[in-house]
């Protein structure tokens, strides 16, 4: 290894040490933990400090009598933006290097696959940066997420049924902004955000319950995209042969049973109203909900059988599910062939912002690792 490479590696290790530390650290602690000499650590700290990537945190008592200076990573040294495109809204979030949300905006703007919409999108992001006084010099990039299948190799959004997209050129989005841009499927992005928040889980399956049902797989600390980038399409697992019609054109898919529409459409209610009436003991809502939980448990149990990992639920429905989690876990325990008790199922923590946060994390992850 050349001297330059070695220096680069040392600096990255020092930075990672700060990134993973749960409290400010002294120079001596770093040297001991990384087996580096004090002069090497000092030089690296000076470099990182000059780049604004670490900062002084305070003084602590040390054994030698002199008080030692502690340092920590500067979370605000850079930030990343995540943008979610959905049929009626644009959601924009900015996160710092520790994935803390620093700004959020939800704008009513119906999706339209044309130049006028894209100009509105660009203007919305620029206005967002201005409104929250975000310094563009610190911006790592713009992540864009949407409910579609992205094919980076062919430079296409293959299909996004609920946005009416078929074979859209990715460059229409990646070249729209004067910043680096990354485009990702919404459920994959959401799964990544939830996984980032679960440091206890090395592997997990993410099941997204919205109007569409999808998901993502994180295996051994990395997303598993699949050969065709269609992994985690749990919505189209068959659960009932020749069952209810699905948006994909087939019958009996999980999505046909566990889409949020299943709860709202028959009674013509908004999702909030449905759960309100359910809480009040409404018999019609209860009948639908009971069937929904039965069907959902079948889907989750299948994921568990194939993947043998924890399952995290996401999507607009999760905030309402807290009270019913024990009921669903009981169903999972009854279905399980190996005596698992259902505690492998969790509710996501990022709620409605998971997709935006997840796609923004792409740039944070790249920055930290490089
Ligand atoms: Zn389907």
Gap from CA of 85 to ligand 1 centroid (Å): 22
Gap from CA of 154 to ligand 1 centroid (Å): 24
Helix (H, G, I), strand (E, B) or coil at 167: strand
Least confident range from 229-233, 294-298, 331-335: namely 229-233
Which of the four pLDDT bands, split at 50, 70 and 90, describes residue 361?
very high
Gap from CA of 234 to ligand 1 centroid (Å): 9
Gap from CA of 87 to ligand 1 centroid (Å): 20
Mean pLDDT of 36-60: 92
Gap from CA of 38 to ligand 1 centroid (Å): 60
Distance CA 132, CA 127 (A): 9
Q: Could you tell me the CA-to-CA distances from 322 to 299, 319, 352 in Å, in that order?
A: 19, 7, 15
In sequence order, the β-bridge partners of residue 32 are none
Give every CB contact of residue 139 below 8 A, 6+ residues apart in sequence.
78, 79, 80, 81, 129, 179
Per-chain mean pLDDT for the chain: 93
Distance CA 261, CA 317 (A): 11
Q: Give pLDDT, residue 251.
A: 97
Percent of the chain with pLDDT over 90: 76
Gap from CA of 215 to ligand 1 centroid (Å): 13
pTM of the model: 0.85
């Amino acid at each position: 290894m050349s001297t330059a490479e070695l220096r680069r590696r040392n600096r990255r290790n020092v930075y990672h040490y700060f990134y993973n530390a749960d409290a400010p650290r002294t120079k001596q602690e770093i040297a001991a933990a990384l087996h580096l000499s004090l002069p090497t650590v000092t030089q690296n700290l000076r470099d990182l400090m000059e780049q604004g990537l670490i900062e002084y945190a305070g003084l602590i008592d040390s054994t030698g009598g002199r008080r030692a200076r502690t340092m920590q990573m500067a979370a605000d040294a850079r930030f990343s933006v995540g943008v979610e495109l959905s049929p009626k809204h644009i959601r924009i979030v900015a996160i710092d290097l520790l994935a803390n949300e620093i700004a959020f905006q939800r704008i009513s703007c119906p999706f339209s696959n044309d130049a006028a919409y894209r100009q509105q999108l660009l203007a919305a992001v620029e206005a967002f940066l201005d409104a929250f006084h975000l310094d563009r010099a610190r911006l790592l990039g713009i992540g864009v997420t949407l409910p579609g299948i992205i094919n980076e190799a062919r430079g296409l959004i293959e299909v996004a049924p609920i946005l009416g997209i078929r074979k859209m050129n990715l460059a229409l989005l990646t070249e729209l902004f004067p910043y680096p841009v990354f485009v990702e499927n919404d459920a994959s992005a959401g799964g990544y955000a939830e996984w980032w928040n679960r440091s206890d889980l090395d592997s997990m399956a993410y099941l997204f319950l919205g109007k569409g049902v999808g998901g993502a797989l994180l295996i051994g600390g990395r997303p598993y995209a699949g050969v065709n980038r269609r992994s985690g399409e749990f919505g189209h697992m068959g659960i009932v042969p020749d069952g209810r019609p699905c948006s994909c054109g087939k019958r009996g898919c999980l999505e046909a049973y566990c889409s949020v529409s299943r709860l709202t459409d028959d009674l013509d209610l908004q999702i909030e109203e449905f759960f309100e009436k359910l809480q009040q003991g409404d018999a019609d809502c209860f009948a639908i909900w009971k069937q929904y939980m039965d069907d959902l448990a079948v889907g989750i149990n299948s994921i568990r059988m194939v993947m043998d990992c924890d399952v995290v639920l996401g999507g607009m429905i999760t905030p309402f599910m807290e009270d019913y989690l024990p009921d669903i876990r009981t169903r999972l325990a009854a279905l399980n062939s190996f005596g698992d008790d259902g505690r492998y199922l969790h509710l996501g923590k990022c709620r409605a912002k998971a997709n935006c946060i997840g796609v923004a994390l792409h740039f944070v992850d790249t920055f930290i690792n490089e």
